[in-house]
Structure 1
Amino acid sequence: MTDAIKAPDLLRLSDNVVLARFETLKVYAALGAVRTLLERGTVKPGQTLVDSSSGIYALALAMACHRYGLHCHIVASTTVDATMRAQLEVLGATVDQMPPSEDLRLDQEGRVRRVRRLLAERPGMHWMRQYHDAVHYTGYREFAALVDRALPDVPLTVVGAVGTGSSSGGLVQALRGRDRDVRLLGVQPFGSVTFGSEGFSDPEAIIAGIGSSIPFDNVHHDLYDTLHWLDFRHAMAGAVGLLREHAVFAGLSTGAAHLVAGWEAARDTDRTHLVIGADTGHRYTDRVFARHREALDPRALAPHRITDLADLTPPWSAMEWNRRSYDVRRGGAVSAPEPALAPVPAQAQPVRPTDPLTHASGPLGVPDRENQTP
């Protein structure tokens, strides 16, 4: 089942925007990490793997453990709903869930403290550390191979939530290793420390999977070319707009990335923009889709463009990051930016990785790169 759901559906939303729609994106991360740890002998069958999660990594890790004969313990965010929890428990995972909270920092810090207590009580557990262990990059090499086959020989801009850093970073690092022209555009909420917006608060939202209240070692800031910061209402506009325009029911981080990609793609028409759609919209039904009449019109929205973090302004800001390093723990950029890359001068349709792509200018052939390694 993990193999059946890990690969995304690729949908062309417009001439230069393609959505990678996942049921649960982090199956790549969990499977790649668990396989690598088993191969290294770091973990052994029958051992218990533990981690903190806001939802989709929890399900992916539970499925990987189910597949490889491992036990799974999840310290779950307050955002994990009854449907997700039931799936985890039926798959054999044990679940500790944080109490209700509207504060992302309290939720995340509480989860980490709970994991540390568990490790002290049960030293035989292995902490997966999805936020910090680079082993979570390994699974995305397979995703990069799929993207390389499906969208060959075009300049790419990958648009996705930053979150733990593994999905966007792992994909882009692997694609650049294949000598692809790839820009990386990261999406952040206000209130996240990852790219310096911790001085703001967005009381409507804990946007799971986009931002963080604590430093994540798996975020490599120098991989990112551009950053966009959005509030909850803008992410909601993107999610509702994606369903309304393309019949795609996806989560809030996907909605935020969709809104950003549409704005960027209209201004950089020669690049193909690949939107990372991390999960479905089911856990956002009440908070987002049931309120669809309140959603802003995406066509009327645009970011405030800035050149310095001191100018960051809600509800939507955009900044050329230019692959700078950034020390979250010290709260500042620690290196000069790399030279900026110069731009290369209706209903969603499926993009099949092994078939020619349908494009306004005619079919594009997809070479057989099945045997190439990332």
Structure 2
Amino acid sequence: MHEHIAEAMKEPDVVSVPPGAICLRFETMKLYAALGAVRHLLATGQVRPGDTLVDSSSGIYAHALALACHRHGLRCHIVGSTTVDRTLRVQLEILGATLEQVRPSRNLRLDQNLRVERIGELLRENPHFHWMRQYHDSIHYLGYRDVADLVRKEVPEGPLTLVGGVGTGASTGAIADCLREAGRQVRLVGVQPFGSVTFGAEHVADPDMIIAGIGSSIPFHNVRHELYDRIHWVNFDYAMSGAVELLRASGIFAGLSAGAAYLATLWERERSAEGTYVFLAADTGHRYVDTAYARHADAVGVGSMRPHEAAAQEELRHPWSAMDWPPRDRAQLPARPEPVPEKA
């Protein structure tokens, strides 16, 4: 029996997906990051019950942090994107978390910059608040050791290719790192949206992209680029098509990042069927019903989708590009971000 719903919700379903892949289907994957970070902060005395934790979120982390705070008797304040919908707003309110949303913007960079600026204002006004820094602090790697342990138990021995959104770095990167530490041979394939600066695709815009959680228009400081072997950039239309096909083929109703990861998995497996392929479905598809799934009649057939193989970032192009990492020209590597101070 679980002591709190957060402990039950975080555990993924391990599902076989044809042809020959495994999906880790989460309800809210970032619960691992939030719970692991909060437990560490409490254990080390950096926060105490009753303290307020604050962070920026496009939605999923907001829910995860609110549940982690509810579990451990902490207050929670979220500076949210306009993508935080009514369903989540009501849940946050009932859980005791407070939410303020920045003004609407069609521009991802502006939306994220506005949220970060507001966090800085809040910390100056309330210096006792603890900024969780989900985009920057490697503390969020800690909780994913449990996912790595699950993979070790559920996935057959031998070479493993892990595919999923890069996000803040504390998911695919953390899982692969833990597995490698345990001696597992892991090839890590990261998924990004066009426009993300994380792996140098900021020059290729995708105004329709709404899966900001797997990439960013601002530097994410806890992404360890050296952990990745391949990167796939997928635009909105192809991510939507992948999500629709994943639902049609397996019954898994997941977010757009899962659709992009599914496409990348199919392509990588077509190139080499060696070992086991595992891809992540980080959230469910409910918040994408109106913006994506309702357009399922426009989905592109999986068999007709192929990525453009790029050798450098300047070769990236819509609707889907892939590249070995690091690029052959190491001058193409993104500059390492300057450290972010604990308090802004």
TM-score (norm 2): 0.93
- Picking from 8, 11, 17, the partner of 1:7 is 11
1:94 to 89, 94, 98: 98
One-letter code of the match for 1:28? Y
1:201 shift after superposition: 1.1
CA distance in structure 2 between the partners assigned to 1:77 and 1:328 by the alignment: 27
Where do 5+ consecutive residues of structure 2 fail to align?
Answer: 338-344
The CA distance in 2 between the partners of 1:158 and 1:93, in whole Å, is 34
Among candidates 39, 42, 46, match of residue 38 of structure 1: 42
Q: What corresponds to 1:202 in structure 2?
A: 206
Unaligned runs of 5+ in 1: 331-374
Matches within 5 A, 1:208-219: 208-219=212-223
Residues 221-274 of structure 1 show CA distances to partners (whole Å, capped at 9, x for unaligned) of: 000000011110010010111111111110011111011111111221122111
**In the alignment, which of 190, 195, 203 is matched to residue 194 of structure 2?**
190
Q: SS of 1:209's equivalent?
A: helix
Does 2:163 match 1:163? no
- C-alpha separation in 2, matches of 1:304 and 1:224: 19
Contact 2:18 2:250 in 1 (8 A): no
Tell me if structure 2 keeps the 8 A contact 1:137–1:170: yes
Query: 1:257 maps to what in 2?
Result: 261
**More helix as a share of residues:** 2
Aligned counterpart in structure 2 of residue 307 of structure 1, from 302, 311, 314 = 311
The answer as to 2:23 corresponding to 1:19 is yes
| Residues in 2 aligned to 1:102 and 1:158: alpha-carbon distance in whole angstroms | 32
- 8 Å CA contact 1:172–1:182 kept in 2: the answer is yes
Runs of 4+ in 1 over 3 A off after TM superposition: 322-330
8 Å CA contact 1:195, 1:328 repeated in 2: no
Q: Is the 8 A contact 2:200 2:333 kept in 1?
A: no
Select 1:62's aligned residue among 63, 66, 83. 66
| Distance across 2 between alignment mates of 1:212 and 1:135 | 19
The CA deviation at 1:329 is 5.6
SS of residue paired to 1:144: helix
Q: How many residues align?
A: 330
Structure 1: how far apart are the matches of 2:164 and 2:195? Answer: 18
Q: Which residue of 2 aligns with 1:273?
A: 277
Q: Distance in 1 between matches of 2:253 and 2:35?
A: 25
Question: For residue 307 of structure 1, what is the amino acid of its counterpart?
Answer: A
Once residues 229 and 326 of structure 2 are traced to their aligned partners in structure 1, the CA distance between those partners, rounded to angstroms, is 4
* Equivalent-residue separation in structure 2 for 1:35 and 1:152 (angstroms): 31
- The CA RMSD measured in Å over matched residues stands at 1.3
Q: Pick from 173, 197, 207 the counterpart of residue 177 of structure 2.
A: 173
TM-score, normalised to structure 1, is 0.86
